[in-house]
Amino acid sequence: MRTAFIGSNSLTLSTAELLIEAGHEVILIERSRERIENLSERLDCGYLHGDGTAPDVLRDAEPENTDVLFCLLESDQTNILAGLIGRSLGFARVVPRVNDPQFQRICNELGLEDSVMPNRAVAKHLEDLLCGEKSLELSSLIRGDASVFNFVAGDEDAGPLDELELPKRVRIICLYRDDELLLPTSRTKLKSGDEVILIAHQDSMEALRERWGKLAGNHGDHMERA
pLDDT at 191 over 50: yes
Nearest to 152 by CA among 86, 201, 103: 103
Rg (CA), the chain: 19
Give 121's pLDDT tier (boundaries 50, 70, 90): low
pLDDT at 145 over 50: yes
Q: Residue 120, SS3?
A: helix
Per-residue pLDDT at 218: 30
Q: What's the number of domains the chain is made of?
A: 2
> Residue 190: which CATH number?
3.30.70.1450
What is the largest distance, in Å, between two alpha-carbon atoms of the chain?
A: 60
- What is the arithmetic mean of pLDDT over 127-143? 59
Q: What are phi and psi of 126, to 5 degrees?
A: -65, -35
Same structural domain for residues 84 and 8? yes
Write out pLDDT tens, residues 173-185: 888 888 787 888 8
Per-residue pLDDT at 3: 96
Residue 8 maps to a domain: yes
Write out pLDDT tens, residues 59-80: 999 999 999 999 999 899 999 9
Helices and strands (DSSP H and E) totals, the chain: 8, 11
Q: Alpha helices, DSSP H only, in 8-146?
A: 10-21, 33-39, 55-60, 76-89, 101-110, 118-130, 138-141
Note the pTM of the prediction, 2 decimals: 0.60
Distance, in Å, from the CA atom of 90 to the CA atom of 43, rounded to the nearest integer, reads 26
Same structural domain for residues 144 and 87? no
Give 226's pLDDT tier (boundaries 50, 70, 90): very low
The neighbour count for residue 201, using CB atoms within 10 Å, is: 15
Q: Average pLDDT over the chain, rounded to whole?
A: 83
Q: Give the number of residues written for the chain.
A: 226
What residue numbers bound the domain in which 50 lies?
A: 2-97
In the listed set 78, 97, 116, which residue is the last one of a domain according to the structure? 97
Distance, in Å, from the CA atom of 33 to the CA atom of 37, rounded to the nearest integer, reads 6
